[in-house]
Structure 1
Amino acid sequence: MTDLITIANDHLTAQINPLGAELTSLKDAEGRELMTNADPAYWTGHAPILFPVVGRPYRDTIRVDGTQYPMKQHGFARRQGFDVVDRHANRVAFVLDDNDDTRAHYPFAFSLTLVFGIIDSSLLVGVEIANTGDVPLPASFGFHPAFAWPLPYGQDRADHRIVFAADEPDTLRMIADDGTIAEGERPSPLEGRTLHLRDDLFAKDALVWDSVRSQSVTYGAEHGPQLRIDFPDTPKLGLWTKPGAAYVCVEPWHGIADPEGYTGEFRDKPGVFEVAPGDVKRIALRVTLVPPAR
């Protein structure tokens, strides 16, 4: 088992697994856990990093210059060991470089860096996707943190909600049985800017905003401490749980699953960005514990 790395200050303590550079725990100053209990009856993940794909490729395959490569849902980064390259009491950095295993699935040179830092009551995650090769690097990236539902502050599970920072008038995408994006649209379940969390919302998998206007959401019960999740660099958002589970995932994405039946080139797929040779793509996430309003 890989040893977890702990960073902390007087407000928060985080633990990160070098396997996948995955945040596995986030606790408040009193030691109360703000993330999933990882009950194996539902899902054992905590906060996997989604790279170089978000969601499921059609038939678990991508195509690069006409050649097919096997690619599982959400990519391979979450199953790769990252190197620790910088470590302090409240900050740690991880790096994954391309290797023989990654090139069997994704024939590109890259360096993926994640920096976790705690400042005051915020956990910051900074991502750098560097193209270390000599051809454009097509990629997607996503965050997948699973927060405790309910949060550990005594409010009922049914009182928890997610409030968007901006109006979100658009419909949502549909998910096909194979996990790809289906034709058609799903009505928005928002009431104003508020999503009142209920298990039945997730009976047909995740809620997917293909184009989210908000750059942050606030999660929790109205009269308790809440989490504000800021995602200034990711234009899509997924929310997901399994009905009955003790978590809800807030997933800012720069990418999306394949359209149902997609057999085109990976670099032409909706949601894929390109990084020029020698360039770097930067993406950030901030999770802040907000005290209850007085």
Structure 2
Amino acid sequence: MSDTQHSFGKNGLTATVSAHGAELTSLRTTSGQDLLWNAGPAWERHSPVLFPIVGKPPENTTLNGQPVTLTQHGFARDMTFRWLERTETGCVLELEDTPETWQLFPAAFRLHLIYRMEETGLHVGYVLTNPSEDATLHASLGVHPAFMWPLNPETGRENHRLTFDTNEADHIRRISPDGLLPEAVPSPIHDRILPLQDSLFEADAIILLDARSKAVDFTGPDGSGLRVRWDGFKDLGIWTKPGAGFLCIEPWYGYATPVGFTGNFSEKPGLLHLQAGESWEAFWSVEPV
């Protein structure tokens, strides 16, 4: 059994998780079809964990009187998690604050990721705990799984769609290099359906703040594909690099810093605020349809 990765499976699906970033690095059917992006040159990640921030931090911001020096999407995706459990159908990993993380983000935390292959597909759970006895934990957590687009390598990228489980708002938000833009723009989602095309992502991600849906189907020309579900997360990002072979479906609790925000980190819009000893739980899952 490797210290660096763990593979498991059930009912026609196999998955591999890396200790580095607690990242899902492979999701494959028994017929050999890859459902997860292969971390090719267009984007060299598969499914990173975004913590303790989604996006970039405010400039020159502080927390508890100390500077916050996070890079985009935080440090969890680049740190080695500790294995707590490894079985034939899943694994549990843990990341806790260290002197290294305090230099970047002066706060105590404990983060567990729980991977479990269920009857219908893969379930990924998150438990974020504030172990402090007296301080509030201000943080965001997001997920960033990249699925193959096209779903079937024998078909083109055309005629793929997302179908949401409920009608979404008639507007979306966009980001720039400076953060979340203040203006809402008309949504390309109509009657729960988003026809996918590269031009949608020339202005970067599609962002749904306070998304109404808790599931979305990602399907190809023949109607088959994947169903992604989530709970505990408030917001949703949809992203690719135009022309790249993946589509990211990203439930978040939190979002990019709004353009012009210059406050204390604890005041950044969209954060979780966990009191001493409090925990927060969320999950996402994926299954073939």
Distance 2:161 2:3 in 1: 34
Q: Residues 2 and 19 of structure 1 are in contact (CA less than 8 Å); yes or no, is this contact kept in structure 2? A: no
Q: Residues 236 and 250 of structure 2 are in contact (CA less than 8 Å); yes or no, is this contact kept in structure 1? A: yes
Say whether residues 1:65 and 2:52 are aligned partners.
no
Specify the alignment match of 1:49 in structure 2.
49
Distance 1:129 1:182 in 2: 28
Query: Which deviates more from structure 2 when the two are superposed, residues 7-16 or residues 92-101?
Result: 7-16
Query: Which deviates more from structure 2 when the two are superposed, residues 26-35 or residues 240-249?
Result: 26-35
Where structure 2 has 5 or more consecutive residues not aligned to the other structure, the ranges are none
Q: How many corresponding residue pairs?
A: 287
Give the SS at the match of 1:151: coil
Specify the alignment match of 1:163 in structure 2.
163
Specify the alignment match of 2:83 in structure 1.
84
Deviation at 1:63, TM superposition (A): 2.0
Deviation at 1:154, TM superposition (A): 3.8
The C-alpha deviation readout for 1:221-259, integer Å capped at 9, x for no partner, is 152421111112111000000000000000000000111
Deviation beyond 2 Å, 4+ runs, structure 1: 1-4, 65-68, 152-156, 222-225
Distance 2:177 2:10 in 1: 44
Deviation at 1:153, TM superposition (A): 6.4
Give the TM-score of the pair, scaled to structure 1: 0.93
Q: Residues 170 and 189 of structure 2 are in contact (CA less than 8 Å); yes or no, is this contact kept in structure 1? A: no
Where structure 1 has 5 or more consecutive residues not aligned to the other structure, the ranges are none
Q: Residues 140 and 272 of structure 2 are in contact (CA less than 8 Å); yes or no, is this contact kept in structure 1? A: yes
Specify the alignment match of 1:228 in structure 2.
227
Deviation at 1:155, TM superposition (A): 3.7
Q: Residues 6 and 86 of structure 2 are in contact (CA less than 8 Å); yes or no, is this contact kept in structure 1? A: no
Say whether residues 1:14 and 2:15 are aligned partners.
yes
Q: Residues 58 and 265 of structure 2 are in contact (CA less than 8 Å); yes or no, is this contact kept in structure 1? A: no
Deviation at 1:35, TM superposition (A): 1.0
Please show how residues 142-221 of structure 1 align to structure 2 within 5 Å: 142-152=142-152, 154-178=154-178, 180-221=179-220
Give the TM-score of the pair, scaled to structure 2: 0.95
- Summarize the Cα distance change of 1:95–1:21 in structure 2 as closer, same or farther, 3 Å threshold: same
- Summarize the Cα distance change of 1:62–1:28 in structure 2 as closer, same or farther, 3 Å threshold: farther
Root-mean-square deviation over aligned CA pairs = 1.6
Q: Residues 11 and 121 of structure 1 are in contact (CA less than 8 Å); yes or no, is this contact kept in structure 2? A: no
Deviation at 1:51, TM superposition (A): 0.6
The C-alpha deviation readout for 1:172-229, integer Å capped at 9, x for no partner, is 1121233x10221221011211111100100011000112100111102152421111
The C-alpha deviation readout for 1:28-82, integer Å capped at 9, x for no partner, is 1212100113221x111110000110112234x5421343221111111001100
Give the SS at the match of 2:104: coil
